[in-house]
Structure 1
Amino acid sequence: MNNRPKEISEKFVQIIEDNLQDLINGKSDDYLDIHTIASMMNIHATHLSNTIKDTTGKSPCDICNEKTIELAKALLSTDISISAIAYKLTYEPTNFTKYFKRHTGMTPSIYRDGLLKENT
């Protein structure tokens, strides 16, 4: 059995996670796009996209969004301001709020308030 598609998908996820950590840690200012990631992996962007879709059932964009929201939620459990989180993730604060709400059904501040209530 050919494990290459699984390896490609795992490498893609690792690159996304590393890029998000680099953004948060100030080591990068750019959110990598599919073409850049494909180039880093020495494959064509279409092949990368199709492989990820075939192995995970999700588009590369869906995976990026999931990982970004996962990290945003973790950051919202800290005392970092919402606007600082937005900038770290390469968003203007108002766009980050819209993005977060589109993917979670609530604003970052409502999410954070819910976390605070859980911990009291």
Structure 2
Amino acid sequence: MKNRILLYTQAELEAKTDIKFTFEEIKKGTKVVKIVFYVTSNAKLGPEGVNDTEFIDHEDTIQLLARFEVAKKVANSLIKTYGEEQIRSNIKYVHEKKRNAEVTNMAGYIVKAIEENYAYPKIF
């Protein structure tokens, strides 16, 4: 179990997500009776992370919105209404806000940012 599941999953999570984990085996004699997991942020995912600007520029728009938990139906509607350029520029804007820990509901904030074009506000 350790080699086929735990170590494999540990490597996959660390390589592909913003979290990672370590674990401790609690033994009685030679038998493992408990496993304690320690989940932490994957600080290693810096500029090469799944949400960086370069990734935003090259990812398919539907998949990009899905990564930020925007429903597929909503994503299709946004693309038809606002176009891919406005969507990408506003996702970059929201990504910067998220990096500064100002956003809690990512999907809702992205939809509102696209609809109101936060990246390029109108000047009156």
Instruction: Please identify which structure carries the higher strand content.
Output: 2
Instruction: Please identify which structure carries the higher helix content.
Output: 1
Point out which structure has higher relative CO (alpha carbons under 8 A, 6+ apart): 1
- Greater Rg over alpha carbons, structure: 2
